[in-house]
């Protein structure tokens, strides 16, 4: 089911939680709404689900008009063919697992289908043997799987999930992420998943919608928003790295980003990078574009290590460029320590320019 939002707006008193939002989601896509706390992700999800009414705008599920403020159309949540999963599971404590999952089907009067549909949904989340238990007899991960079974038992075409894994510990979260991803694809649902965790969004999403302050900042594949952020907010919120501002300078036929009078970084030698000398630029440099070493060489820039994190297969190092306070992030194979003098060069082909003289730069 395609989902289209046109001019969706929502205020709570004086607070404009959603500025006019336009969004198109393709049938079968797994879409993550990603953004900092309070940016409006949950409000947008609840409006799509019908738990909240927008002040303005229109929502369509394929060619079916679900909500239209101007025409006073508002399809009830239970008639929208959606399933919903929340962070706190929201299970009925006095009902068995079976009855929890059966709840929606019974409410829709689909009594004849209850046994088959509930068994199928529980099998899909690998909980077939726990049908007679009560929620308090299950672990957190199992309770969340019951909530997922309940959401899919009605054969929804759309599943809406609000931070469904954030109450679980890290190992369980990884397991559940894989289960959810494969289940959504297997059942052919369109999924919208709210998270403030960029790792979760990067690993699960076909499309990421980055939100900030009631606006959509960018929509694209994880690769797009990571490699080609359209603005500084997206560059800083998605992925590690440095967002640097400086002046474009040319010397000896080479383009540089002049950070201050001592420090300049080489810029990509792309044919279309053809700025006048002195243009102010904002660029994003990701850790994998930096080659960091402890061995000095004349061609390398010097820096000082600030922090080191061991990530298993690599170390993540933050460091400042000598002569500047700018903090950069790099990956290293060897252990380094805060205060170490380090040397680096940058893969100049892939630096992404996001702003030119204060305006978004489109390549």
Rounded to whole angstroms, the Cα distance separating 151 from 49 reads 12
Cβ neighbourhood burial of 30 (10 Å; 0-12, 13-18, 19+)? buried
Q: Phi and psi (nearest 5°) for 97?
A: -55, -45
- Rounded to 5 degrees, φ, ψ at 279 are -65, 135
Report in angstroms the alpha-carbon separations of 359 from 69, 232, 259, 343: 35, 11, 19, 32
Which position among 31, 34, 41, 343 is part of the footprint of ligand ATP (CB under 6 A)?
A: 41
Q: How many residues bind ligand ATP (CB under 6 A)?
A: 12
Interface mask (CB under 6 A) for ligand ATP, residues 3-22, using x and -? ---------x--x-x-----
Indicate whether 42 belongs to the interface with ligand ATP (CB under 6 A).
Answer: yes
Residue number with CB closer to ligand ATP (41 or 264)? 41
Least distance from ligand ATP to the Cβ atom of residue 36, Å? 7
40 binds ligand ATP (CB under 6 A): yes
Nearer to ligand ATP, 161 or 259 (CB): 161
Select 18 or 118, whichever has its Cβ closest to ligand ATP. 18
Establish if 164 lies at the interface with ligand ATP (CB under 6 A): no
- Cβ of residue 19: shortest distance to ligand ATP, in angstroms? 11
Assign 87 to helix, strand or coil.
coil
Contact in structure between 309 and 335 (CB atoms under 8 Å): no
Q: Are 300 and 212 in contact (CB under 8 A)?
A: no
Query: Min. distance of Cβ 14 from ligand ATP in angstroms?
Result: 10
Give the integer Cα–Cα distance in Å for 51 and 45.
9
Tell me which DSSP letter residue 31 carries: E
| Site string (43-82) toward ligand ATP, x via CB under 6 A | x---------------------------------------
Nearer to ligand ATP, 22 or 334 (CB): 22
Q: What is the nearest approach in angstroms of ligand ATP to the Cβ of residue 196?
A: 5
Q: Which 177-196 positions form the footprint of ligand ATP (CB under 6 A)? A: 196
Q: How far is the CB of 192 from ligand ATP (least distance, A)?
A: 12
Dihedral over alpha carbons 273, 279, 284, 285 (to 10 degrees): 70
Residues 19-38, interacting with ligand ATP (CB under 6 A):
35, 37-38
Give yes or no for a contact between 114 and 102, defined as CB atoms under 8 angstroms apart.
Answer: yes
List contacts with ligand ATP (CB under 6 A).
Answer: 12, 15, 17, 35, 37-43, 196
């Amino acid at each position: 089911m395609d989902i289209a939002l046109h001019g969706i707006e929502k205020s709570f008193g004086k607070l404009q939680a959603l500025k006019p939002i336009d969004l198109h989601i393709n049938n079968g896509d797994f879409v993550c709404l990603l953004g900092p706390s309070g940016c409006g992700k949950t409000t947008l999800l609840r409006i799509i689900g019908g738990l909240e009414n927008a002040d303005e705008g229109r929502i369509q599920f394929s060619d079916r008009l679900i909500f239209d403020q101007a025409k006073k159309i508002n399809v009830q949540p239970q008639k929208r063919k959606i399933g919903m999963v929340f962070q706190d599971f929201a299970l009925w404590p006095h009902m068995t697992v079976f009855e929890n999952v059966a709840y929606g089907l019974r409410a829709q009067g689909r009594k004849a289908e209850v046994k088959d549909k509930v068994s199928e949904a529980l099998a899909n989340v690998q909980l077939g043997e726990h049908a007679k238990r009560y929620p308090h007899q299950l672990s957190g991960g199992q309770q969340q799987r019951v909530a997922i079974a309940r959401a899919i038992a009605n054969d929804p075409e759309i599943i809406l999930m609000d931070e469904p894994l954030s109450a679980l510990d890290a190992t369980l979260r990884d397991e559940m992420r894989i289960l959810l991803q494969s289940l959504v694809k297997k059942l052919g649902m369109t999924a919208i998943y709210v998270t403030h965790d960029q790792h979760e969004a990067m690993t699960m999403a076909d499309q990421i919608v980055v939100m900030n302050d009631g606006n959509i900042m960018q929509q694209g594949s994880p690769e797009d928003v990571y490699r080609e952020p359209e603005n500084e907010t997206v560059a800083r919120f998605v992925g590690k790295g440095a967002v640097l501002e400086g002046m474009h300078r040319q010397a000896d036929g080479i383009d540089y980003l002049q950070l201050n009078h001592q420090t300049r970084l080489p810029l990509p030698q792309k044919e279309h990078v053809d700025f006048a000398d002195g243009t102010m630029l904002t660029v994003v440099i990701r850790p994998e574009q930096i080659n960091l070493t402890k061995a000095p060489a004349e061609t390398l820039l010097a820096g000082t290590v600030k922090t080191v994190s061991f990530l298993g297969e690599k170390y993540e190092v933050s460091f400042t460029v000598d002569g500047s306070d700018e903090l950069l992030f790099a990956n290293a194979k060897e252990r380094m320590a805060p205060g170490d003098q380090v040397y680096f060069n940058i893969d100049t082909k892939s630096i992404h320019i996001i702003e030119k003289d204060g305006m978004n730069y489109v390549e």
